[in-house]
Amino acid sequence: MSNTLRPNSLDAFWMPFTPNRAFKADPRMLVRAEGMHYYTPDGRPVLDGTSGLWCVAAGHAQPKIVAAIQRAAAELDYASSFNLGHPAAFEFANQLGGLLPDRLDRIVFTNSGSESADTALKIALAYQRARGKPNKYRLIGRERAYHGVNFGGMTVGGITKNRVNFGPMVSGVDHLPHPHDITRNAFSRGQPANGAEYADALERLVALHDASTIAAVIIEPVAGSTGVLVPPQAYLQRLRELCTKHDILLIFDEVITGFGRLGAPFAAQYFDVRPDIITMAKAINNATVPMGAVAASREIHDAIVNNSDTPIELFHGYTMSGHPLACAAGLATLEVFREQRLFERAAELAPYWEQSLHALRDARHVIDIRNLGLIGGIELEPRPGKPTQRALETFRACFEKGVLIRVTGDIIALSPPLIIEKQQIDQIVDTIRGVLQTLD
């Protein structure tokens, strides 16, 4: 056929969140992964400082997870969850419920964090309607938030470039200000001391819209994709108090913070703040098979299910919800987390991680450093008139030197697998320091 692409062409794959023209002119390819490393086509190891994309928490190619997927593919390659079931989905949902805060254990399976965000928003609206409050339809997000790229999550999100080209999106949405305040909190270790008062902006939105119209507030406990924004001390607690006061659901988007990233199963436990709904994905099964989930409280579940006037209580779901391979991988991943004590390991490594990152305070171009658990953000001073360029050059140079980092804007975002060793933390930090020293 005349339009057939040559066998090794890069043209057909329209890559996500990538400058396609620049990448395809100078591609960076990965062909294998094991443990803490990716490998390039010429066999060169690249230390993974980002857990792939915040998601490979247990390290690459864990044998127990690989074997579980292989068995599942041979035994039950696919089964619908529409009016049918398979044991692994129920077992995995039960085990997830055991990791979550008390009574927050009614699980809906999705296929990504984006789907989890939209699912959580729909559950919130369905709950308000089921309890006789259909006028509580308004959704509140936050500036500098990322809740995926589906229309609901994109609308409650707060990344301009993700929103500007796609029209009016979902109606009835407003936003809280983000609590990141570099002028008062630069180089904070852990949670910043200043900024709890940003939560009080919810009172202004209540005054503007009235609480009787607000269904839910959705936030990331720690914002990742917009540059590692750590919540100020008492901020999340204050937001919980206000949501309770005004009868508003609180949704935690834990796609990044779930499964040990902060040294606890979920950020809800780390901060001792119980939301009403939690979204998750990424590390749920070590990113081996696409999967996400939403955990709702029993109160929300029971209100929707017990008050339904139709046999199907929630008209929502996906062809791949609870996919057998994804569930098998999830069960094996939870086993690896337990056997290798990876959540506890993250907590034990966190002080060394903090100390190592903040040693870059005097590195060239660095204007702020942020950390919590095994998450790190290093903010660089932008080049005048050329935002993001310095960070992108840092990313490319680090890759060439054998370390994978992630950049967003002019911020280096780090989130290594929980199996990382101290000398590998040193390698990441030393590589970044050396690269920054060479850049204008």
Residue 3 pLDDT grade (very low, low, confident, very high; cuts 50, 70, 90): low
Mean pLDDT in residue range 17-46:
97
Per-residue pLDDT at 8? 80
Per-residue pLDDT at 244? 98
Question: Full-prediction pTM beyond 0.75?
Answer: yes
Per-residue pLDDT at 356? 98
Mean pLDDT of all residues in the chain? Answer: 97
Q: Answer yes or no: is pLDDT of 247 > 70.
A: yes
Residue 346 pLDDT grade (very low, low, confident, very high; cuts 50, 70, 90): very high
Q: Answer yes or no: is pLDDT of 86 > 90.
A: yes
Q: Answer yes or no: is pLDDT of 140 > 70.
A: yes
Per-residue pLDDT at 185? 98
Mean pLDDT in residue range 409-419:
98
Q: Answer yes or no: is pLDDT of 2 > 60.
A: no
Q: Answer yes or no: is pLDDT of 376 > 90.
A: yes
Per-residue pLDDT at 94? 98
Q: Answer yes or no: is pLDDT of 5 > 70.
A: no
User: What percent of the chain is predicted at pLDDT more than 70?
Assistant: 98
Residue 193 pLDDT grade (very low, low, confident, very high; cuts 50, 70, 90): very high
Residue 398 pLDDT grade (very low, low, confident, very high; cuts 50, 70, 90): very high
- In three state form, how does the secondary structure of the chain look? CCCCCCCCCCCCCCCCCCCHHHHHHCCCCCCEEEECEEECCCCCEEEECCHHHHCCCCCECCHHHHHHHHHHHHHCCCCCCCCCCCHHHHHHHHHHHHHCCCCCCEEEEECCHHHHHHHHHHHHHHHHHHCCCCCCCEEEEECCCCCCCCHHHHHHCCCHHHHCCCCCCCCCEEEECCCCCHHHHCCCCCCCCCCHHHHHHHHHHHHHHCHHHEEEEEECCCECCCCCECCCCCHHHHHHHHHHHCCCEEEEECCCCCCCCCCCCCHHHHHCCCCCEEEECHHHHCCCCCCEEEEECHHHHHHHHHCCCCCCCCCCCCCCCCCHHHHHHHHHHHHHHHHCCHHHHHHHHHHHHHHHHHHHHHCCCEEEEEEECCEEEEEECCECCECCHHHHHHHHHHHHCCEECEEECCEEEECCCCCCCHHHHHHHHHHHHHHHHHCC
List of domains in the chain: 20-58+341-438 (3.90.1150.10), 66-339 (3.40.640.10)
Residue 347 pLDDT grade (very low, low, confident, very high; cuts 50, 70, 90): very high
Mean pLDDT in residue range 410-421:
98
Q: Answer yes or no: is pLDDT of 87 > 60.
A: yes
Mean pLDDT in residue range 110-117:
98
Per-residue pLDDT at 172? 97
